[in-house]
Amino acid sequence: MNLDEIKETFFIECADQMVELETGLNTLVTDGVDIETVNSVFRAVHSVKGGAGAFELTNLVNFAHVFENALDIIRVDLGEATDSRLNLLLRAADVLNDIVVATRDEGEPIECAEITTELAQAFDISEVEEDDPDDAINNFQAVPISIMDLDLGDGGDEDASGDFDLGGGDGAPGFHVSFEPKPGLYLNGHDPQKLFRELAELGSLTATCDVDKMPVLSAMNPDDNYLSWSLVVDTDGELDSNTGEGKITEIFDWVSTECELSISYHAAEGGADGPSDNFDDFIGDDLMDIGEEGEVEGEEAPAEADLDAPLEGAAAPEETPAEETPEAPMAEETPETPIAEAPTAEVVELKPAEAEETKAAPKKVVKKTAQSIRVDSERVDRLINLMGELVINEAMLAERITNTGVALGSEVGVAMAELQSLTREIQNGVMAIRAQPVKPVFMRMSRVVREVCSATGKKAVLEFDGENTEVDTTVIEGLSDPLTHMIRNAVDHGIESPEVRLAAGKPAQGVVKLVAMHASGRIVIEIRDDGAGINRERVLEMALKKGIVSPEANLTDNEIDNLIFAAGFSTAETITDVSGRGVGMDVVRQSVQSLGGRVSITSTPGHGSVFSMSLPLTLAILDGMIVKEADQTLVIPVSSVLETLSLQEGDVTTLGNEDKVMQLRDKLIPIVDVGYELGFAKKRETFTGGTVLVVEGEKDCVGAFVVDSIMEQQQVVIKSLESNYQRISGIAAATILGNGRIALILDAADILSLHDTDANNNLAKTG
Amino acid sequence: MSKKVLAVDDSRTMREMLRHSLSAAGFDVTLAEDGADGLIKLKESDPDVVITDINMPVMDGFEFIENVRKLKELNRVPILVLSTESHPDKKRRAQQAGATGWIVKPFDPEKLVSAVHRVSP
């Protein structure tokens, strides 16, 4: 992966984090505050900040930082999470999202000073730190990895040979370091040898190992440390006392709590003022309390800060035998090598203090996402395409086998049946890969509600149900626009103002509920509001004025409600600055239809409305009814077929001029001569004996499609006409059949509406 | 033979950044998504140096380090903490858990590589 690709990954990851953030914050608002959710929300922002820092996306880092600080206050004390603060965080999340998008698309920078100030005030974050962008970014600049930062002077470079000068002695000019590792130093993966090498880069190094504490072998604990070193670094006057001590301290930064360390400087002229022979005196004189180094050690680290304190925990008892050994059995000094091998041990036991820490540590945090892999969507698309080919080939094979007259019960027949069932299973499996929960799209809708509320002064909360319902990603992508519009509509037109609601005996805050569920092989999404319901008088009045319905039309309540989806219904008069953006609900209907879906509304005056959307689970494959009509093979989606029957003499009635209808139980439904309607066949003389498919279009609109015959029912792979040719009204898509021929898939709803328009039906255009 | 580094971070972006910087410096890089994954990858890859994030789901960095130090083998592997946090308390906590060194995110690739060299055997 190159940097650009990593950056792309970062933005993909950001999108996920944004969903996590929004979901988490919503959960905090609706279900109350719990630490796991707070942590996951914090982690989301933290992660965005971390990645943004890597790419030096300053705006993003700065805002994420303020956001994180605010969250941290809640993380430390859940009681700090007031409703107003959480709502502010939700708004801040919107801004953060905007900044992410703007940064990704390299668009105009997002103005966030106002909300930053709001956050700072609401969470009482000190302004000084946050308001100065330079300052904020500085906080995130990589803190130098101290040792590597050594700015060796010219002389230093010459000396940076790494050789240890073993000839130096006490009282030599330079920096005198006494270093006694604690066992923890080795346990934490450190190696004194590496520290000495770094010291040697400052100047010539003299190292003396003190083995006084080394016990007899039998008394030796391999986990303990018995060695200490006195080191003299002669920088040849290159480094003054403060600078040198600072650099040496930096070298020992990572081990500062894991060793006893003291540093002192002996100027060249004061050579006589060398370190005392007595090691203890040396420490005593120049004791440098590590705890005083502030930034390395917290003030609140008394145990580590106190040099006189006995070695902690397990190390302490082990120390005793060592100290009791009066004389080390080995040589007093081993000038040969300052580099002692770290004691190795097979078993490392945690010190009691550490063990406690472990227990106190925050335990496993809930991982919201299940185990998953990320796959390039192109690969999945390819798999789905291949799957489609497989389905087609299987159908061809099946057809050929049938044509050879092989019995179904024969070996070949049975094997074919098995193959078919396997193919179907594989197909379900493949489609499941692309299935995603609708949650991310749903979560985005909270923002829509918030925005509409703040623009209209209404109060509403968005609730979810079934947000984990899965549907093909291609369907999800297409959901966002119609959903946004319907949600806007629900709040803007559905929910009443707080005063009106209170007067009507409702709570001031309205509820918009977004529900997803699976129903008969489709996904149904409903948007329910507890608002005023549709003002039918006004809708009807508007529709009459626009000529959408004729004055004589006698419409049911439901039909009136659904007029809002009619083309041309939405007008300037109904446009508010919120829901009206020049598009009406007919655009919603169109976009839902283009996904192979249907949309309708039911409304109860005073109690609210329900927008209902029904969509196919996938846009790749559908169950089709294969029919013959005037030598053409056509496919009608099984999902739109209600029943099939054959027309008998007397079933057909002619209405008015030429419109034919048939009696279906207690209802008259229009008859559609499919071949004629689509323009490839002559008009039928008679419908008697014709095969009829009763199909359902929009909003319970039902029609009888007359065709020559029904062949079979089979799964067909949808091949888009629009992307391969162009859109043809009445045709949803095309497919390849088992015999290798291309067949058109009918758009039942579209044909019904065509028919209605042709027939100049009164109710018409709404379809 | 190139030295092996195990990098543990829950952010895919950071993992890829780490892989990018360290591979460029000639390290053989293995990636893990969280502490638990890190423990598995540690045993599989037998790294010379481990780099770990702190704030991770499932098993955080502290717990991961503690668990590494409790292992029978590989318990002495140098572990560098890579975190946006720079509070002394957190550093001390990491040190107590058994961390070898501390690097603050976002990291300068060169400094990261130097730090790895600094602790690697």
CATH at A577: 3.30.565.10
* Same domain? A494 vs A395: no
Give how many domains chain A has, as a whole number.
5
Looking at per-residue confidence, does A1 or A331 come out higher? Answer: A1
* Same domain? A752 vs A729: yes
Least confident of A500-509, A617-626, B45-54: A617-626
Please, which residues 649-668 of chain A have a Cβ atom closer than 8 Å to chain B? none
| Secondary structure element (H or E) that encloses residue B18, with its range | helix B12-24
The 3-state DSSP composition of chain B as helix, strand, coil percent (nearest 5) reads: 45, 20, 35
Looking at per-residue confidence, does A349 or A735 come out higher? Answer: A735
Q: Is the pLDDT of residue A523 over 90?
A: no
Confidence of residue B95 (pLDDT cuts 50, 70, 90): confident
pLDDT average, residue stretch A563-585: 59
Least confident of A418-422, A618-622, A693-697: A618-622
CA distance linking residue A676 with residue A97, whole number of Å = 52
* Same domain? A664 vs A753: yes
Q: Is the pLDDT of residue A733 over 70?
A: yes
Confidence of residue A512 (pLDDT cuts 50, 70, 90): very high
Least confident of A203-207, A281-285, A542-546: A281-285
Encoded tokens for A24: 């988490």
Confidence of residue A489 (pLDDT cuts 50, 70, 90): confident
> What pLDDT does residue A301 have?
39
A347 domain-assigned: no
ipTM: 0.78
* Same domain? A296 vs A386: no
Encoded tokens for A144: 């130098």
Distance from CA of A189 to the nearest CA of B (A): 4
CATH assignment of the domain containing A118: 1.20.120.160
> What pLDDT does residue B4 have?
92
Residues of A in contact with B85 (CB under 8 A): none
Distance from CA of A147 to the nearest CA of B (A): 8
Whole domain around residue A401: which residue ranges?
377-436
Q: Is the pLDDT of residue A169 over 60?
A: no
> What pLDDT does residue B31 have?
93
* For chain A, percent of residues with pLDDT exceeding 70: 76
Residues of A in contact with B58 (CB under 8 A): 364-365, 367
CA distance linking residue B32 with residue B67, whole number of Å = 15
Confidence of residue A520 (pLDDT cuts 50, 70, 90): low
- ω into B106 cis (within 30 of 0): yes
Residues in chain A: 767
Q: Is the pLDDT of residue A668 over 70?
A: yes
Distance from CA of B70 to the nearest CA of A (A): 6
**Cα torsion A170, A175, A176, A181: sign:** negative
Q: Mark which of A567, A586, A616 sits at the end of a domain.
A: A616
Residue with tokens 């700065």: A62
Residues of A in contact with B118 (CB under 8 A): 145, 147-148, 194, 198
* Same domain? A432 vs A444: no
Q: Is the pLDDT of residue A206 over 60?
A: yes
Looking at per-residue confidence, does A738 or A25 come out higher? Answer: A25
CA distance linking residue A278 with residue A255, whole number of Å = 24
Q: Mark which of A404, A436, A468 sits at the end of a domain.
A: A436
pLDDT average, residue stretch A266-295: 42
> What pLDDT does residue B7 have?
93
Parallel/antiparallel/unpaired status of strands A667-673 and A702-707: parallel
A463 domain-assigned: yes
Task: Pick the residue of B18, B103, B118 with the most A CBs within 10 A to test the interface with A by mutation.
Answer: B118
| Secondary structure element (H or E) that encloses residue A727, with its range | none
Confidence of residue A171 (pLDDT cuts 50, 70, 90): low
Confidence of residue A170 (pLDDT cuts 50, 70, 90): low
Confidence of residue A669 (pLDDT cuts 50, 70, 90): confident
CATH assignment of the domain containing A661: 2.40.50.180
Please report, for residues A179, A288, A751, the alpha-carbon distance to residue A225 in angstroms, rounded to integers and kept in the order given. 12, 21, 88
> What pLDDT does residue A246 have?
84
> What pLDDT does residue A366 have?
45
> What pLDDT does residue B52 have?
92
* Same domain? A418 vs A492: no
CA distance linking residue A252 with residue A179, whole number of Å = 9
* Same domain? A449 vs A514: yes
Least confident of A323-332, A624-633, B31-40, B72-81: A323-332
CA distance linking residue A465 with residue A76, whole number of Å = 31
Residues of B in contact with A141 (CB under 8 A): 106
Residue of A724, A684, A721, A727 whose CA lies nearest to A706: A684
* Same domain? A399 vs A456: no
Instruction: Number of A to B CB contacts under 8 A, please give it.
Output: 164
- Which among B12, B57, B86 has CB closest to A365? B57
Q: Mean pLDDT score of chain A, rounded to an integer?
A: 74
> What pLDDT does residue A583 have?
53
Distance from CA of A380 to the nearest CA of B (A): 21
* Same domain? A156 vs A287: yes
> What pLDDT does residue A766 have?
37
pLDDT average, residue stretch B105-117: 82
Confidence of residue A322 (pLDDT cuts 50, 70, 90): very low
Question: Tell me, what amino acid is at A525?
Answer: I
* Same domain? A688 vs A627: yes
Backbone Cα Rg of chain B: 13
- Which among A10, A142, A374 has CB closest to B13? A10
Q: State whether B111 and A148 contact (CB < 8 Å).
A: yes
> What pLDDT does residue A139 have?
37
- Three-class secondary structure of residue A360 per DSSP: helix
CA distance linking residue A519 with residue A617, whole number of Å = 10
Q: Is the pLDDT of residue B50 over 90?
A: yes
- With both helix axes pointing from N to C terminus, report the angle between B12-24 and A3-31 in degrees, rounded to the nearest 10: 150
Model confidence pLDDT, tens digit, residues A682-700: 888 888 778 899 988 765 6
Confidence of residue A292 (pLDDT cuts 50, 70, 90): very low
Confidence of residue A351 (pLDDT cuts 50, 70, 90): very low
Model confidence pLDDT, tens digit, residues A89-144: 988 998 898 898 888 888 888 888 888 888 888 888 764 444 344 433 333 333 33
Highest mean pLDDT among A137-151, A264-278, B24-38: B24-38
Which residue in chain A is spatially nearest to B112 when comparing CA positions?
Answer: A145
Q: State whether B89 and A298 contact (CB < 8 Å).
A: yes
pLDDT average, residue stretch A722-745: 82
Q: pTM of the full predicted structure?
A: 0.50
A350 domain-assigned: no
* Same domain? A157 vs A269: yes
Confidence of residue B51 (pLDDT cuts 50, 70, 90): very high
A713 domain-assigned: yes
Q: Where are the beta strands (DSSP E) in A64-182?
A: 174-181
Q: Is the pLDDT of residue A634 over 90?
A: yes
Question: Tell me, what amino acid is at B5?
Answer: V
Residues of B in contact with A362 (CB under 8 A): 60
Q: Mark which of A87, A112, A138 sits at the end of a domain.
A: A138
* Same domain? A471 vs A609: yes
> What pLDDT does residue A355 have?
42
Q: State whether A198 and B118 contact (CB < 8 Å).
A: yes
Residue with tokens 């039309």: A553
**Is the minimum CB–CB distance between A298 and chain B shorter than 8 Å?**
yes
**1.10.10.60, 3.40.50.2300, 3.30.460.80, 3.10.450.40: CATH of B4-111:** 3.40.50.2300
Residue of A743, A765, A744, A746 whose CA lies nearest to A756: A765
CA distance linking residue A560 with residue A540, whole number of Å = 6
- Which among B55, B88, B104 has CB closest to A298? B88
> What pLDDT does residue B29 have?
92
Q: State whether B55 and A187 contact (CB < 8 Å).
A: no
Residues of B in contact with A60 (CB under 8 A): none
A372 domain-assigned: no
Contacts of A39 (CB under 8 A, 6+ apart): A75, A362, A365
- The set of long-range contacts for B35-40, using a CB threshold of 8 Å and a minimum separation of 24, is B35/B8, B35/B59, B35/B60, B35/B61, B35/B63, B35/B64, B35/B67, B36/B64, B37/B8, B38/B6, B38/B8, B38/B64, B38/B68, B39/B64, B39/B67, B39/B68
Q: State whether B11 and A51 contact (CB < 8 Å).
A: yes
